[in-house]
Amino acid sequence: EPEVTQTPSHQVTQMGQEVILRCVPISNHLYFYWYRQILGQKVEFLVSFYNNEISEKSEIFDDQFSVERPDGSNFTLKIRSTKLEDSAMYFCASCAGGFNQPQHFGDGTRLSIL
């Protein structure tokens, strides 16, 4: 069964540095998402992406964050000038679109900011 793949599985970065989290969605999917889960808390929506543009973003997704689909297969989340509170698990998801279609999640990237 096709899967959403995320790399790296764990990223450790110094505060103030930039990080790029990578995702390869399922190949025929049209909708892409990033979610975040701070340790011990629930999963929160960050941003959705469709037709090469952001379709919705949460209040968490401020100017520090950006997303890109650079080559038609990868979907990336960039965090500029990371802060301690950016430490979390980041999940990528994709969906084929249309009605009656579930979102498929990757295994996540655990981001630790020191």
**Closer Cβ to other proteins, 29 or 81, answer by number:** 29
> What is the closest distance, in whole angstroms, from the C-beta atom of residue 19 to other proteins in the complex?
18
> What is the closest distance, in whole angstroms, from the C-beta atom of residue 68 to other proteins in the complex?
19
Cβ-contact 10, 109 below 8 angstroms: yes
> What is the closest distance, in whole angstroms, from the C-beta atom of residue 107 to other proteins in the complex?
5
> What is the closest distance, in whole angstroms, from the C-beta atom of residue 25 to other proteins in the complex?
13
In the chain, where do the E strands start and end? Answer: 5-7, 10-13, 19-24, 31-37, 44-50, 53-57, 65-68, 75-79, 88-95, 104-105, 109-113
**Closer Cβ to other proteins, 19 or 61, answer by number:** 61
**Closer Cβ to other proteins, 61 or 79, answer by number:** 61
Query: What is the contact surface with other proteins in residues (CB under 8 A)?
Result: 30-31, 33, 35, 37, 42-45, 48, 50, 55-56, 58, 89, 91, 93, 95, 97-105, 107-108, 110
SS3 at position 82: coil
CA atoms of 16 and 69, how far apart (whole Å):
24
Angle at 35 between CA 34 and CA 36, to 5 degrees: 130
